[in-house]
Structure 1
Amino acid sequence: MQLVNQIEKEENLLINTVNNTLRLAQEKVNFSIEVFVKKTIGISVNIRNSIIENVEFNSDGALFITVYNKFSKGVVSSKDFSINGIKKMLEIAINISKYSSSDFFSGLPDVELLCFKAPDLDLFHPSELNIKNAISFASISEKEAFKYDKRIINSEGSFFSNHITINVFGNSLGMLEKYKSTRYSNYACMIAKDNNIMQRDFSYSTSRKLDDLEKPDILGRKTAKNAISRLGSKKINTTRCPIIFSKETSSIFFSHLISAISGDNVYRKSTFLLHDLKKRIFPEWLHIEENPHIRKGLGSKPFDSEGVSTNIKSIIKNGILQTWLLNTYNARKLNLTSTGHSGGISNWLVSNKNISFRELLKTMKTGLLVTELMGQGVDIVSGNYSRGAVGFWVENGIIKYPVNEITISGNLKNMWTNILSISNDINMYSNIQCGSVLLSEIQISGN
């Protein structure tokens, strides 16, 4: 109860800060303004080999003011929420706008797109910021991992965090809305050893509600099991074969679509999908729906960072690209309308074939299961893809042995059209919710 009262006081302070900023801005003529204030309060604990490596308490807030002087823009941020601090920020932002180049496409969003009544998305589930409980939570994961198997010989750390975020947004078009959210995370990474060979692996979970977080003992055992499964890894020969991106890596695989259809890359003509709007880029059975209003969703939000309402929309329908991801500026550059994507995507729901992961392995028969990706070798201009990977070699639908020190490569356009199936083992710890993905073929570089 004490925490809830504290959060209410903080929220009222932030609302007053935005109101004061808008009120002071009204004294300035020929300027439009948007104000965003965000505060995060929370704790995080990191344990390694039963030793507390660090405990952090966060109480960080910042005020962001954007002033539009006709078509010139001035942006400033500060942690000083006092009246004098706000006055100074406004003067600085206005002065910046006077010396900024004029850009016809700059300005506040169209008023009809703004969110004037934010829906309750059930994102706020606070629990007391108790350091002792946080330490216990992180310690249990590590202890359970050590107990699981004697081959678990070391820890790279066990982590727990509990954070509360308050967002308040307002502008000179009359919008003043807010929402707050909670996020809990736990993570563990363990090292296994056998025959003088060591391997590491990890597990994690994240949620809006503490009760929905994976229990620390279960997380610890899962981490130990993952690390042990990596023992005896081999480097396979260079080949072309089918591949499965596990549910942990499939969301990363689909994340490249975000960059490829972002408005900034489209208007700059720096994406390989520049001419593919309303064209098929995935198999006909594949759909991606964005739903920003899933209750307790990790990617849920009532409005974007410009105050534009978020809405359920189709990103991919029957394999066809339906939309770009646009904020106000790049939408105007393209003579289109903002899609509410300033600040990124919300929850993406990727369709599947309603088959289990085991059935997906049987469908692949022989090939590579990728469980971790390394490096950043993706070129959005050309679509060329090259990343380090680890995983498992599969024969006749059965996992045979772990694989490491390989590189997978191709072109995203071909890789997307080569998707054969997606299983129903959905990864709920990402704002791209997707099962494991089977591709018909990819280049693997090994020995």
Structure 2
Amino acid sequence: MQPAIDPAVEQERLKTLVEDIVAEASRQGASACEVGASSDAGLSASVRLGEVETVEFNQDKGFGITVYFGQRKGSASTTDSSPDAIRATVEAACDIARYTSEDDCAGLADKALMATEFPDLDLYHPWGIDTEEAINLARECEAAARESSPLITNSDGATVNTHQGCRVYGNSHGFIGTQASSRHSVSCVVIAQKGDEMQRDYWYTVARDGNLLDRMVDVGRTAAERTIRRLGGQKLKTCKVPVLFSAELAGGVIGNLMAGISGGNLYRQSSFLLDHLGKKIFPEWVHIHEKPLLKGGMGSGAFDGDGLQTYAKDFITDGVLANYLLSTYSGRKLGMKSTANAGGARNLFIESNAGDQAALLKQMGTGLLLTELIGHGVNIVTGDYSRGAAGFWVENGEIQYPVSEVTIAGNLKDMFMQLQAVGNDVDRRGNIQTGSLLIDGMTVAGN
């Protein structure tokens, strides 16, 4: 059985330790202190070709301590919660702070902005499976993939993961915030072969509650179907065509937007969206917003990394950039208020304006459906976008054949403005929830 965490007991233990650390920092002369504490436990079981590959248990805890001497800052961390280790870690942070230069923007968030409401966000659902059950689930998933077609000739395995943990943040304002959460997943990777050609693909499911995961059989079969349909891949001649980012890839495009409006990139003047607040950067129908207090959401939280109360907000309204993504520190650097986004956006949504992927293929007519992106060719400073890719060539709204070894290229500013449609085939497995994205006029480089 995986190591268990009693969330109520563990949160009280961590709260006490955080309060002790803040008090210790004060005793050592710090004018302010903030502490992030965590305690996690989990189980992972992998099988390959029906045989057990790995079984891993993990149980971790850690404390990140930041102290301030006026506006001089020092940080240190430890996994040891003994009194001697805590004192030594606080001392190390204080020594660093004493010798760093002053930063006018350093310091805790304003006390008046600390979170005061902590609704139950339904994030904690431990999955009571033991090792044998996890192995059997992984075997069931992989077997479904391997048995679905004789073209599935090999496997990289199936993995079952279950995780639960507690987080506590506290500071010398007297603020203490706690959150218990769980996350469970199952994934499968298989290999298909036809003649001398081999292809690999995967599928996975993830949920806060293990009972809400997709069926093992469905995960395995989907992995097999995705792998088989890649056989017979062809190259393309270089062209400029519409590109449809499948839902599982579309979140990355929205993630590039968030990187462009993040306070850290903005105050360093290293963003292609510098000075774009209040300007139109998408078509008028586009609406992108976050819901941090969504029950059961993969990104939900009542307070951000600075202890501020989170709240729902728009980032794109009627195509216009309505808010930056700011922590307390980055807000001060920009002369603006925090948007309670220390740690990033929480449960980000882009509203759909079209049907499912099949409907978007019809709308696209001729172009490229993307199912895989390779590499990290995104320049957030300039917005230049260039990624290796694979997918399917589409004509008359119908998939014609698989495509491999191509590169798609454009600029994020142009891509945002040329967004034609957002599908209702929303991928709900992550913090960014979006359907497929149809973007016009991208360069596809091939032969």
TM-score of the aligned structures, taking structure 2 as reference length: 0.97
SS class of match (2:200): strand
* 1:254 alignment partner AA: I
Q: Residue 276 of structure 1: CA displacement?
A: 1.1
Q: Residue 22 of structure 1: CA displacement?
A: 2.3
Q: What corresponds to 1:100 in structure 2?
A: 100
State which drifts further: 318-327 or 1-10: 1-10
Q: Residue 356 of structure 1: CA displacement?
A: 2.1
Cα distance in 1, alignment partners of residues 422 and 30 from structure 2: 54
Q: Residue 285 of structure 1: CA displacement?
A: 0.2
Q: CA RMSD in A?
A: 1.5
Cα distance in 2, alignment partners of residues 365 and 46 from structure 1: 41
The aligned runs of 1:129-278 (5 Å cut-off) are: 129-278=129-278
Cα distance in 1, alignment partners of residues 29 and 431 from structure 2: 41
Q: Residue 342 of structure 1: CA displacement?
A: 1.5
Q: What corresponds to 1:303 in structure 2?
A: 303
* 1:83 alignment partner AA: P
Note if contact 1:116-1:176 (Cα within 8 Å) is conserved in structure 2.
no
Q: What corresponds to 1:363 in structure 2?
A: 363
* 2:436 alignment partner AA: S
Query: Which digits, 9 at most, give the CA deviation of each residue in 1:277-328, with x for residues without a partner?
Result: 1101011000001111111100111112221221100010001001111111
Cα distance in 2, alignment partners of residues 322 and 358 from structure 1: 32
SS class of match (1:273): coil
* 1:347 alignment partner AA: N
Cα distance in 1, alignment partners of residues 226 and 385 from structure 2: 27
Is 2:53 the counterpart of 1:53? yes
Q: 1:127 to 1:46 in 2, by over 3 A?
A: same
Query: Which digits, 9 at most, give the CA deviation of each residue in 1:389-408, with x for residues without a partner?
Result: 00001111111111000000
Q: What corresponds to 1:393 in structure 2?
A: 393
Q: Residue 5 of structure 1: CA displacement?
A: 6.7
Cα distance in 2, alignment partners of residues 11 and 37 from structure 1: 10
Q: What corresponds to 1:281 in structure 2?
A: 281
Cα distance in 1, alignment partners of residues 10 and 362 from structure 2: 54
State which drifts further: 260-269 or 44-53: 44-53
Q: 1:106 to 1:170 in 2, by over 3 A?
A: same
Q: Residue 165 of structure 1: CA displacement?
A: 1.5
Q: How many residues align?
A: 447
Cα distance in 1, alignment partners of residues 233 and 2 from structure 2: 51
Q: What corresponds to 1:417 in structure 2?
A: 417
Give the gaps of 5 or more residues in structure 2.
none
Q: What corresponds to 1:122 in structure 2?
A: 122
SS class of match (1:301): coil
Note if contact 1:166-1:179 (Cα within 8 Å) is conserved in structure 2.
yes
* 2:35 alignment partner AA: V
Cα distance in 2, alignment partners of residues 145 and 4 from structure 1: 32
Q: 1:426 to 1:297 in 2, by over 3 A?
A: same
Cα distance in 1, alignment partners of residues 99 and 50 from structure 2: 56
Query: Which digits, 9 at most, give the CA deviation of each residue in 1:60-116, with x for residues without a partner?
Result: 110111101001001010011112221112211111110111111100011122113
* 1:55 alignment partner AA: V
Q: What corresponds to 1:25 in structure 2?
A: 25
Q: What corresponds to 1:331 in structure 2?
A: 331
Note if contact 1:378-1:385 (Cα within 8 Å) is conserved in structure 2.
yes
Give the gaps of 5 or more residues in structure 1.
none
Cα distance in 2, alignment partners of residues 389 and 4 from structure 1: 42
Query: Which digits, 9 at most, give the CA deviation of each residue in 1:39-59, with x for residues without a partner?
Result: 110111121111211111110
Q: What corresponds to 1:11 in structure 2?
A: 11
Cα distance in 2, alignment partners of residues 177 and 382 from structure 1: 38
Q: 1:79 to 1:2 in 2, by over 3 A?
A: closer
Identity %: 40
Cα distance in 2, alignment partners of residues 42 and 4 from structure 1: 8
* 2:88 alignment partner AA: K
Query: Which digits, 9 at most, give the CA deviation of each residue in 1:169-199, with x for residues without a partner?
Result: 1111010110100000111111111122111
Q: 1:177 to 1:228 in 2, by over 3 A?
A: same
Note if contact 1:117-1:177 (Cα within 8 Å) is conserved in structure 2.
no
Is 2:346 the counterpart of 1:346? yes
* 1:179 alignment partner AA: Q
State which drifts further: 227-236 or 352-361: 352-361
Query: Which digits, 9 at most, give the CA deviation of each residue in 1:358-401, with x for residues without a partner?
Result: 11111001110001101000001110000000000111111111
Q: 1:184 to 1:5 in 2, by over 3 A?
A: closer
* 1:50 alignment partner AA: G
Q: What corresponds to 1:440 in structure 2?
A: 440
Q: What corresponds to 1:321 in structure 2?
A: 321
Query: Which digits, 9 at most, give the CA deviation of each residue in 1:188-222, with x for residues without a partner?
Result: 11111112211111101111000111111110011
Q: Residue 2 of structure 1: CA displacement?
A: 11
Note if contact 1:111-1:173 (Cα within 8 Å) is conserved in structure 2.
yes
* 1:338 alignment partner AA: S
* 1:343 alignment partner AA: G
Cα distance in 2, alignment partners of residues 413 and 214 from structure 1: 36
Query: Which digits, 9 at most, give the CA deviation of each residue in 1:331-358, with x for residues without a partner?
Result: 1011111112222221111011142221
Q: Residue 146 of structure 1: CA displacement?
A: 0.8
Cα distance in 2, alignment partners of residues 96 and 4 from structure 1: 36
Cα distance in 2, alignment partners of residues 30 and 191 from structure 1: 57
SS class of match (1:148): coil
Q: Residue 135 of structure 1: CA displacement?
A: 0.8
Cα distance in 2, alignment partners of residues 78 and 295 from structure 1: 32
* 1:181 alignment partner AA: S
State which drifts further: 240-249 or 83-92: 83-92
Q: Residue 29 of structure 1: CA displacement?
A: 4.3
TM-score of the aligned structures, taking structure 1 as reference length: 0.97
Q: What corresponds to 1:426 in structure 2?
A: 426
